[in-house]
Chains A and B, each alone.
Chain A
Amino acid sequence: MDARGLAPWLADRLPAGAVIIDPVQLATYACDGLAHYKVVPAVVVLPETAEQVATVVRACAEHGVPFVARGAGTGLSGGALPHADGVLVVLSRMRDVVEVDRANQRAVVQPGVVNLQLSALTRPDGYYFAPDPSSQQVCSVGGNVAENSGGAHCLKYGFTTGHVTGLQLVTPAGELVELGGKAPDLPGYDLLGAVVGSEGTLGVATRVTVRLTRTPEAVETLLAGFPDTDSAGRAVSAVISAGVVPAAIEMMDALAIEAAEAAVHCGYPAGAGAVLIVELDGPRPEVAHQFEQVKGMCEDAGAFEIRVAADDTERALIWKGRKSAFAAVGRISPDYIVQDGVIPRTRLAEALTRIEALAGERGVRVANVFHAGDGNLHPLVLFDDAVPGEAERAEEASGAIIDLCIELGGSITGEHGVGSDKAKYMPRMFGEDDLDTMQLVRCAFDPAGIANPGKIFPTPRLCGEVPRRRTASEGAHPLVEAGLADQF
Chain B
Amino acid sequence: MTTVTDALPRLLEASGGHAREGGVADAVDGLVPPYVVAPTGPRATEAVAAVLRTAHADGLAVVVRGAGTKLGWGAPPRRLDVVLETGGLDELVEHAAGDLVVVTGAGRRLEDLQRDLAGAGQCLAVDPARQGTVGGLVASADAGPARLGRGPVRDLVIGATVVRADGVVARSGGKVVKNVAGYDLGKLLTGSFGTLGVLTRVALRLHPVAEAGAWVTVPVASARHASALVQGVLHAQVVADAAELDRPGEGRAQLAVRLDGIAPGVAARAEQTAALLGTGAQVSDTAPAWWGRDLDAAAHGVTLKASYEPASLAVLLEAVDDASAAVGLPLDVRGSAAVGTLTVGLGGSGHGSDPAQVAAVLAALRGAADRFGGAVVVRDAPAAVRAAVDVWGPVRGLDLMRRVKERLDPTGVLAPGRFVGGI
A in complex with B:
yes
Interface residues of A (CB under 8 A from B): 101-106, 126, 147-148, 150, 154, 158-159, 161-162, 171, 175, 177-194, 196-198, 214-217, 237, 240-241, 243, 245, 282-286, 289-290, 342-346, 371, 374-376, 409-418, 422, 426, 429-431, 433-438, 440-445, 456
A190-B187, A413-B180 are known contacts. Are A179 and B98 too (CB-CB below 8 A)?
no
> B188 touching A194 by the CB < 8 A rule?
yes
Residues B404 and A189 in contact, CB atoms below 8 Å apart: yes
Residue of B nearest to A237 (CB): B98
Q: Which residues of B contact A179 (CB under 8 A)?
A: 396-397, 400
Query: Can you show 13 pairs from A to B with CB atoms below 8 A apart?
Result: A148-B180, A161-B155, A183-B374, A185-B375, A187-B393, A188-B395, A190-B154, A191-B401, A193-B188, A243-B210, A243-B211, A285-B268, A444-B403
Q: How far is the CA of A197 from the CA of B180 in the complex (A)?
A: 7
- Complex CA distance for A193 and B192, rounded to whole angstroms: 12
Could you say which residues of chain B place their CB within 8 Å of the CB of A414? Answer: 176, 178-180
List the A side residues contacting B56 at CB < 8 Å.
Answer: none
The interface residues of chain A lying within 8 Å CB-to-CB of B385 are none
A191 to B98, CA, bound (A): 32
Q: A178-B396, A434-B170 are in contact. Are A289 and B262 (CB under 8 A)?
A: yes
Inter-chain contacts of A102 with B (CB < 8 A): 235
- Chain B 177-215, CB-CB to A under 8 Å as 1, else 0, gives 111111111111011100010000000000111110000
Are A104 and B311 also in contact (CB < 8 A) when A158-B151, A445-B403 are? yes
Q: Which residues of A contact B311 (CB under 8 A)?
A: 101, 103-104
Stretch at the interface among B242-250, B289-297, B302-310, B346-354: B302-310
Give the shortest distance, in Å, between A146 (CB) and chain B (any CB).
10
* Whole-angstrom distance between the Cβ of A16 and the nearest chain B Cβ: 34
**B264 contacts the other chain (CB 8 A):** yes
| Residue B169 lies at the interface, judged by CB distance under 8 Å to chain A | yes
Chain A CB within 8 A of B5 CB: no
Please judge, given known A-B contacts A184-B307, A194-B188, A444-B403, whether A374 and B176 are in contact too, CB under 8 Å: yes
B114 in the interface, Cβ–Cβ < 8 Å? no
Pick the contact of A150 from B121, B152, B178, B272 — CB < 8 Å?
B178
Bound-complex Cα distance A437 to B400 (A) = 17
Q: Closest 8 CB pairs between A and B?
A: A193-B187, A243-B208, A286-B265, A103-B311, A437-B170, A183-B374, A217-B237, A346-B98
B53 at interface by CB-CB < 8 Å: no
State whether the Cβ of B407 lies closer than 8 Å to any Cβ in chain A.
Answer: yes
Inter-subunit contact B397/A103 (CB<8 Å): no
Inside 8 A of B182's CB, which chain A residues have their CB? 418, 426, 429-430, 434-435, 438, 456
- Shortest CB distance A279–B (Å): 16
**Distance from A461 Cβ to chain B, minimum over Cβ atoms (Å):** 10
Query: Cβ of B392 < 8 Å from any Cβ of A?
Result: yes
A193 to B207, CA, bound (A): 22
* CB nearest neighbor in B for A103: B311
Query: Chain B residues with Cβ under 8 A from A438's Cβ?
Result: 170, 172, 182-183, 185
Asked if A342 contacts B265 (CB within 8 A), the reply is no
> CB distance A345 to B170 under 8 Å?
no
Q: Could you tell me the distance between the alpha carbons of A181 and B152 in the complex, rounded to whole angstroms?
A: 16
> Please, which residues of chain A bring their CB within 8 A of the CB of B169?
433
User: A187–B396 Cα gap in the complex (Å)?
Assistant: 8
- Within the assembled complex, what's the spacing in Å between the Cα atoms of A116 and B81? 54
Contact status A184-B155, CB under 8 Å: no
Q: Is B341 an interface residue (CB 8 A)?
A: yes
Question: Which residue in A186, A289, A441, A456 is a CB contact (below 8 Å) of B307?
Answer: A186
Q: Which residue of chain A is the closest to B120 with respect to CB atoms? A: A241
From A183, A185, A344, A418, B176 is in contact (CB under 8 Å) with A344
Chain A nearest Cβ from B202, distance in angstroms = 15
The answer to whether B178 and A371 touch across the interface, beta carbons within 8 angstroms, is: yes
In the bound assembly, the distance between CA atoms of A416 and B179 in angstroms comes to 9
Return chain B residues, CB-CB under 8 Å to A105.
234, 310
Q: Cβ of B341: which chain A residues have Cβ within 8 Å of it?
A: 184-185
Within 8 Å CB of B375, what residues of A? 183, 185-187
Chain B residues within 8 Å of A150, by CB? 178, 180
Q: CB distance A216 to B237 under 8 Å?
A: yes
Report Cα–Cα, A197/B99, bound state, in Å: 23
Would you call B126 an interface residue if the criterion is a C-beta within 8 Å of the partner chain's C-beta atoms? Answer: no
Chain B: minimal CB distance from A184 (Å): 5
* Most A Cβ at <10 Å: residue of B97, B181, B190, B307: B181
Cβ contact of B101, chosen from A344, A412, A429, cutoff 8 A: A344
Closest CB-CB distance, A190 to chain B, in whole Å? 5
Give the distance to chain B from A248, nearest Cβ to Cβ, in Å: 13
| Nearest-CB residue, chain A, relative to B265 | A286
Whether the Cβ atoms of B265 and A283 lie closer than 8 Å is yes
B239 close to chain A: CB less than 8 A? yes
B174 within 8 A of A: yes
